[in-house]
Structure 1
């Protein structure tokens, strides 16, 4: 659901006139409320709330609408032309909270030094390097929140982000950015974190581990295990894959895009010694149950203890 639909529902709740536009006409949420629920009705060029709409709105939409509206207003992000998906606003709220807590101080400095690209930011925060293409409202919001004046147009910057600590004992290369936005625990345990940008790992060719042990943390899905990790191993042959401890999630229920394909890739990598027996047992279980394990659902320190 997007912000335009949420605003329309709030107007209906306050009995304001809502004109039907293309966004509302194409909205699955509006269609669901109209039929089968019959809580709203199209009358001419307008939507009209029906009996039962108000309590349904209060239960399912009002709290989120007020939270999002307050966030967008407070941060001066609410423009007439703004186009936000609900998940965009949720991610922006998380980024703002991390920034206010000081968790992004080092990252923001490195962003400025790297002259990061829009697609680089997209990969960091949205797990898809093309997600921010043609989403100018979200890009502008990121500039405001991160206090960055511009992003470059290049797709892949040759720059790696690090969360450094005193007296590092271990390096963990992360597929996603999340662990780098929570600095206290890794620093307490002398863990240096690296983030290269998902599949954009060409820059690892120049990485210097300083003879420290290095581990790989990733989503346990097809892309993380069967595509990115083998490429990482080519750049850093001594890297070790961390065993996850997060709860598996259904690929279908989470609408995850990285789906398990046939067994050929799994068998090829197993025969090449990319995975040990314990890792293969878990991989086979995930494939059989059509599940995956999200990297940020793991406890980093526990993973290192178990690996």
Structure 2
């Protein structure tokens, strides 16, 4: 859903009916409430509520709408032309919260120092290097929340991002940026974190582990295990894959894009321990995956050591 749909549902809750527009006509969420739940109906130019709408809205929509609206108001983003997706707003709230508690300051400094591109920042926060391209309002909001004046507008992905600590005893290369936004625990435990940007591993040809043990943390899905990890292993042969401890999630229910494909032509058994192989096979059979940030990184390290 985008903000127009969210706002329309709130107006329906408050007023009982609203004028319909092209966005609402094409809305999958609105059509679900009309055709499946049968708690909305429409004429040629209006939407109006039916019995049961208020209960469903209060249960499934009201709380998050109030949270989104408060965030947009507090940051002077609530404008008539706003079309942010719900996912966009959730990511922006996360950036705001991480900036507020100081977790993003080391990363922000590196973004400025390394002259990060729009693509790099897009990959960091939206897990897709192309997501922000062409979305000027969203780019400007990200810069506003990060307190950064400009982002480089090239396609250079040669930088890796490092969360340093004073006396590291090992390195963990992360597929995603999330662990680097939580610096306190890893620094307390002398763990240095690297983020190279998912599949963008060519820059690792120039990396120096300084003789430290190095581990790999990733999403346990097709891309993470069958595509990215083997590429990383080619660049850093002594890297070890961490065994996940997060709760598996359904690929379908989470609308995840990395789906298990045929693995006959991609033999990675030699890269996994027997226990890791069992976990992967169970995930494939149940059509599930394990999100990297759902793992307890310190527990994964304790088991490895």
CA distance in 1, matches of 2:222, 2:80: 40
Post-superposition shift, 1:18?
A: 2.5
How far 1:32 sits from its partner (Å)? 1.7
Task: Show the 5 A alignment for 1:37-76.
Answer: 37-76=37-76
Change (3 A) 1:36 1:258: closer
1:128-184 CA deviation, whole Å, 9 max, x = no partner? 222223333322211111111222222342111111111110100000011001111
Aligned equivalents of 1:138 and 1:292: distance in 2?
A: 29
In 1, Cα distance between equivalents of 2:56 and 2:16: 17
Q: CA deviation at 1:27?
A: 0.6
The aligned counterpart of 1:288 is 285
What's the counterpart of residue 5 of structure 1? Answer: 5
Cα deviation, 1:273-307, whole Å, max 9, x if unaligned, reads 32232222222221122111111111111111112
Residue correspondence of structure 1 range 84-123 to structure 2 within 5 A: 84-123=84-123
Once the two structures are overlaid, the 10-residue window that deviates more, 224-233 or 54-63, is 54-63
Q: Distance in 1 between matches of 2:253 and 2:38?
A: 26
- In structure 2, the CA distance between the partners of 1:46 and 1:134, relative to structure 1 (3 Å rule), is farther
Within 2, Cα distance between the matches of 1:68 and 1:45?
27
Report the counterpart of residue 301 of structure 1 in structure 2: 298
Q: Deviations over 1:48-86 (max 9, x none)?
A: 233433333222211111110000110112222221111
Return 5+ residue gaps in structure 1 as ranges.
Answer: none
Question: Please, what TM-score do these two structures have when normalized by structure 2?
Answer: 0.95
Matched residues in 2 for 1:289 and 1:200: separation?
29
**8 Å Cα contact 2:16/2:49 also seen in 1:** no
| TM-aligned CA deviation for residue 225 of structure 1 | 0.8
Kindly indicate whether residue 193 of structure 2 is the aligned counterpart of residue 196 of structure 1.
Answer: no
* Structure 2 residues not aligned, in runs of 5+: none
Q: Which runs of 4+ in 1 moved over 3 A?
A: none
Q: Residues 156 and 290 from structure 1, CA distance in 2 versus in 1: closer, same or farther, beyond 3 angstroms?
A: farther
Once residues 66 and 191 of structure 1 are traced to their aligned partners in structure 2, the CA distance between those partners, rounded to angstroms, is 38
Using the TM superposition, give the Cα deviation of residue 192 of structure 1 relative to its aligned residue in structure 2, in angstroms: 0.4
Asked if structure 2 preserves the Cα contact closer than 8 Å seen for 1:172 and 1:215, the reply is: yes
Cα 1:148–1:265 change in 2 (3 A) is farther
In 2, Cα distance between equivalents of 1:276 and 1:13: 54
Aligned-pair CA distance for 1:269: 2.4
Whether the 8 Å CA contact 1:15–1:49 is kept in 2: the answer is: no
Residue 234 (structure 1) shift: 1.4
What is the CA–CA distance in structure 1 between the aligned matches of 2:103 and 2:84, rounded to whole Å?
24
Shift of 1:16: 7.0
User: Do structure 1's residue 274 and structure 2's residue 285 form an aligned pair?
Assistant: no
Contact between 1:114 and 1:157, CA under 8 Å: does it hold in 2? Answer: no
Please report how far the alpha carbon of residue 17 of structure 1 lies from its aligned counterpart in structure 2 after TM superposition: 5.8
